Structure 1
Amino acid sequence: MNKENIEAIIRKAGVCRLGMLDGDTPYIVPLCFGYRDDTLYFHGSKKSRKVELIQRHPKVCFEFDILAEPISAPDPCDWDMRYQSVVGFGQASVVETTEEKRQALEIIAAQYAEGPHSFSEPMLKATMVIKVAVETMTGRQSGFDQK
């Protein structure tokens, strides 16, 4: 799947699942997100498990899926799944500057509603923003015309 189709899936997605490592145990969390220029953005509390894990091990994976639904058949062994998905890998870091944080939050907000949006200084100080520099991502689909 080409990058244009991959980014179309991301634009339609409502949730991004972010996968991290907690020692030798995987940890995954669904998050609100923003995406622009091969970078994902997430927000949350400064004291959270995901922030602790990213600071210890910044390599992450992520997943989006849309339009997922089963395709039934008379024989349950012939059932299939219709879906479009994106899976990728990247390097996570914490956004440090107030201006970069403001821009990241605007990108996140734009995923869900038209802007412009405003963010107060106290809110910016209280919010942690994580960015993921996308290294690779692939898209897949099933149950759709292949173009």
Structure 2
Amino acid sequence: MSQKYGPNLSQEAMDKVLQEEDTGYLGLADEGKPYVVPVSFAYLDHRIVIHGATTGRKLDIIRRNPRACFTVSRHIDRTRPHQAEGGCTYRFESVICQGTAEVVDDPVIRLEWLRRFKDYFYRKLRLDPAADPVTEKAAQHCSCIVLRIETMTGRAKREAVAD
């Protein structure tokens, strides 16, 4: 990691990045082979909450090896050409979380997390979550993964980049 740019984000700044973004990358290890998948997520109670299909590779991997990494990044500037003389830079913010992922199998707990997940997005979109609640039947057809964050680091470069 570059010492010049991090880690330098406070907990408050990392929380803000995680609250404002809605796509991240879940990194898992499948018998020693890396597997990274983009996911939509909610940041609730210092946890990453992910929903998806009830079957699939990420669920299988988590059940075998729950250790996980989760990354969110955003570029403040548009991508620019890299110049030969030290111009390989742009403004960014990123957060990396490490912890233990759990596939929530208990139907009551899964329903609660899925409702909170949907509420999270509806509120971001300024919609009424009560208008379209997650039902028990719907929750039976959706998985829920909760990543309990053990460590979190964030870094940013916010200085202006010359054209």
- Above 0.5 in TM-score? yes
Question: SS of the residue aligned with 1:123?
Answer: helix
Deviation at 1:124, TM superposition (A): 0.9
Identity of aligned residues (%): 25
Deviation at 1:72, TM superposition (A): 5.2
Q: Write the distance in 2 (CA, Å) between the matches of 1:73 and 1:127.
A: 43
Question: SS of the residue aligned with 2:105?
Answer: coil
> Corresponding residue for 1:92?
101
Deviation at 1:16, TM superposition (A): 1.3
Tell me the TM-score normalised to structure 2 length.
Answer: 0.79
Question: SS of the residue aligned with 1:81?
Answer: coil
Given that 2:24 and 2:40 are in contact with CA atoms closer than 8 Å, whether structure 1 keeps it comes out as yes
Q: Write the distance in 2 (CA, Å) between the matches of 1:138 and 1:42.
A: 20
Structure 2: gaps of 5 or more residues: 1-8, 124-128
From 114, 121, 128, the counterpart of 1:112: 121
> Corresponding residue for 2:154?
139
Deviation at 1:76, TM superposition (A): 6.0
Given that 1:93 and 1:131 are in contact with CA atoms closer than 8 Å, whether structure 2 keeps it comes out as yes
Given that 1:32 and 1:108 are in contact with CA atoms closer than 8 Å, whether structure 2 keeps it comes out as no
> Corresponding residue for 2:22?
14
Q: Write the distance in 2 (CA, Å) between the matches of 1:20 and 1:59.
A: 7
Change (3 A) 1:74 1:60: closer
Richer in strand (by share)? 1
Deviation at 1:12, TM superposition (A): 1.1
- Whichever residue aligns with residue 153 of structure 2, its letter is T
Q: Write the distance in 1 (CA, Å) between the matches of 2:47 and 2:101.
A: 10
Further displaced range: 25-34 or 35-44:
35-44
Deviation at 1:75, TM superposition (A): 4.6
Equivalences for residues 1-147 of structure 1 within 5 A: 1-69=9-77, 70-71=79-80, 75=84, 77-114=86-123, 115-116=129-130, 117-144=132-159
Structure 1: gaps of 5 or more residues: none
Rg larger in structure: 2
* Alpha-carbon RMSD: 2.1
Tell me the TM-score normalised to structure 1 length.
Answer: 0.87
